[in-house]
Amino acid sequence: MINALSYIVVQTPHMQAWVDQVTNHIGMQVEVLEAGKTMRIRADQKIQRFVVTATSGEPTMGMGFEVPDASTMQACMKALDAAGYTTTPGTAEEIEFRGVQDMVHFVDNDGLRLEIAYGLKDASTEFKPGRPIGGFRTGKMGLGHVALITEHFEALSNLYRNVLGMNLTDYTYKPFKVEFLHCNPRHHTIGIAHTGQPAKIYHLMLEYNDFDDVGRAYDMALPNPDSIGVTLGRHINDHATSFYLKNPDGWMFELGWATRTVGPDWEAEELKGMSLWGHDRTWLPDHKREEARQILRDLAAEGLRAPVVLPENQTQLKQNTKD
Ligand SMILES: [Fe+2]
């Protein structure tokens, strides 16, 4: 029923730090609606991909999922109701802020706000990146993917797969349970993990069209090593080359490139690890970090590699063809 991750909804006590990071470091575009209070953040031609409100309380992040039309939204509401989730219609103000035609919201088993919306408008102006980048890979693949640490793995797996209609891409149940789920050609739109830690947002992945834009973002993070939550590396499943940048609210942006896509004939796979190389999780306790390094050494000894599938919209290629 869900087409894509459409946008995220942020409440933050660190408004100015968000403006600085998303504009200057990541290269998105901020549109301030009320100075210090509300802003939309753009990543493409859409009117927004993040709606951000200042708060004096704890930071929060919620997700907006896109459905094609009003009747699919109704079907989602019915399925959610049958599964025991109460949906609430968005207010006129919330709908206006998001630039959608209609929206309903509900709360998942971990207390996270989820929205179902359709008709996200295009902006009236061209996307103007905060630094010179070749744009983000969005379109029918949606904004990117979100990975969640959950305290209710079975309930969330049921919610995304059986209620909202996402499909399993791959999974592992050792050393803890993880499932990656898709709802369009993007390899995964949602990842859920049960690690035994309290529920939290782990990261939002944004995908650059151009590899050099990942490298430049990494260069900008290097003088401040504490800002790098996971070092440069390549994922074993979606094949993203990426690193993870901590954001002002304590969760992370994965900034990546060249994820592979999945089609209707995809068969779910069990994963041998999380990464082909790199992706050292700087925040892990030493013994866990060493375990992760051993997995990388084993995969390297096996000679496991993956082809790079270039995204069709990468601007470097267009430039090369012109030369
Ligand atoms: Fe990711």
Q: Averaged over 40-69, what is the pLDDT?
A: 98
CA 253 to centroid of ligand 1, rounded, Å: 9
Task: Please write the tens of the pLDDT for every residue from 184-239.
Answer: 999 999 999 998 899 999 999 999 999 999 999 999 999 999 999 999 999 999 99
CA 255 to centroid of ligand 1, rounded, Å: 9
The mean pLDDT value of the chain amounts to 95
| β pairing state of 200-208 and 252-257 | parallel
Q: Averaged over 163-175, what is the pLDDT?
A: 93
Residue 280 has pLDDT above 90, yes or no: yes
pLDDT of residue 174: 78
pLDDT of residue 230: 97
Can you list the positions of beta strands (E) in 88-227? 88-89, 102-107, 113-118, 145-149, 167-172, 177-182, 190-194, 200-208
Task: Give the model's confidence band at 314: pLDDT under 50 very low, under 70 low, under 90 confident, else very high.
Answer: low
CA 145 to centroid of ligand 1, rounded, Å: 7
Task: Give the model's confidence band at 242: pLDDT under 50 very low, under 70 low, under 90 confident, else very high.
Answer: very high
pLDDT of residue 217: 98
Measured at the CA of 200, the angle between CA 196 and CA 206, to 5 degrees, comes to 125
CA 314 to centroid of ligand 1, rounded, Å: 20
Task: Give the model's confidence band at 322: pLDDT under 50 very low, under 70 low, under 90 confident, else very high.
Answer: very low
Residue 262 has pLDDT above 90, yes or no: yes
Domains of the chain are 4-302 (3.10.180.10)
CA 124 to centroid of ligand 1, rounded, Å: 31
CA 89 to centroid of ligand 1, rounded, Å: 30
Task: Please write the tens of the pLDDT for every residue from 284-297.
Answer: 889 989 999 999 99
Residue 320 has pLDDT above 50, yes or no: no
Q: Averaged over 272-283, what is the pLDDT?
A: 93
CA 194 to centroid of ligand 1, rounded, Å: 15
CA 53 to centroid of ligand 1, rounded, Å: 25
pLDDT of residue 175: 76
- SS3 state of residue 249: coil
Greater pLDDT, 321 or 32: 32
Range of lowest pLDDT (42-51, 66-75, 135-144, 311-320): 311-320
List, as one string, the DSSP characters of 39-53. Answer: EEEESSSBS-SEEEE
pLDDT of residue 313: 61
Residue 93 has pLDDT above 50, yes or no: yes
Task: Give the model's confidence band at 310: pLDDT under 50 very low, under 70 low, under 90 confident, else very high.
Answer: confident
Q: Which helix (H) or strand (E) holds 320?
A: helix 315-322
pLDDT of residue 316: 52
Peptide bond into 285 cis (omega under 30): no
The whole-angstrom separation of Cα 13 and Cα 199 is 20
Residue 317 has pLDDT above 80, yes or no: no
Task: Determine what percent of the chain is predicted with pLDDT higher than 70.
Answer: 97
Residues, the chain: 323
The whole-angstrom separation of Cα 39 and Cα 25 is 17
pLDDT of residue 323: 40
Task: Determine what percent of the chain is predicted with pLDDT higher than 90.
Answer: 91
